Amino acid sequence: MVTDIHCHSDQVSADNIAKFIADGGKIGSVSMTLKSAIQVLALKQQYPDAIELFLGIHPEVAADEAMIEAVIALIHQHHRLLSGIGEIGIPFFYLDDKTALQKQLLKQQGAQLMARFVAIAADYNLPVNLHVVEDDIELALPILNQYGVGGALFHWYEGSLSHLTQLHQQGHFISVSPWIFVDDHYWQFVQAIPFSMMLVESDAPCKYNGKIGDPSMIVDIIAAVANYHQISVEQLTLILADNTRRYLRK
């Protein structure tokens, strides 16, 4: 069984979700806003055994306190349905036009929001599904350590080899996206990820070379990684399934 561990399923067509699940797949369904949290919660109720539900607020969303409190209330109300907390993390991409001082302030504010959700994850003993880019692990790791949350998923992470080693030594996971088929630098980084910390994701409906992302794309990721390391698809699928169970604490 394969799991797309990071997918915005509220933005994926119902037919594609149904087909992927019918073919034996599972989906780690993350939320970004209150609206998407409600939508992925409904999807979990529709596919209780095939959806791994994560609730959170994306760090690049302009969320006011009312939205934050509403999503937190949903988490408390439905915590028994949750597989984890996410998508949460540190803002990065929308800061391109900001000054260095503005970036520092916004990242600090993002870290404070991340900490609120990590604290909830710790209370319910749930894993976290993180949006943390490059050197921002230096902001994220102290938060995880503060609340004793191990085995975090750094989705679509790419950074230095020293940071990769740091994440590996601390027992965290990294999910590989279809971006391996688009960007050679990312593909080279993925080649260095130890099998023991690897998961796979579509981040659907993110586009790859103009093609809308879909959970079925993880099949091609597994084939490419297996081919590079000269192991069978079946063997890698088993490794990923075991990693997924460990990450979800099952």
Q: Is 155 annotated as a binding residue?
A: yes
Burial class of residue 188, CB neighbours in 10 A (0-12, 13-18, 19+): exposed
Q: Is 203 annotated as a binding residue?
A: yes
CB 195 within 8 A of CB 246: no
Q: Is 131 annotated as a binding residue?
A: yes
Burial class of residue 219, CB neighbours in 10 A (0-12, 13-18, 19+): middle
Cα–Cα distances in angstroms (integers) from residue 45 to residues 69, 81, 82, 224, 237, in the given order: 22, 9, 11, 33, 27
Burial class of residue 54, CB neighbours in 10 A (0-12, 13-18, 19+): buried
Q: Is 79 annotated as a binding residue?
A: no
Q: Is 163 annotated as a binding residue?
A: no
Task: Point out the annotated binding site for a divalent metal cation.
Answer: 6, 8, 87, 131, 155, 203
Annotated binding site: 6, 8, 87, 131, 155, 203
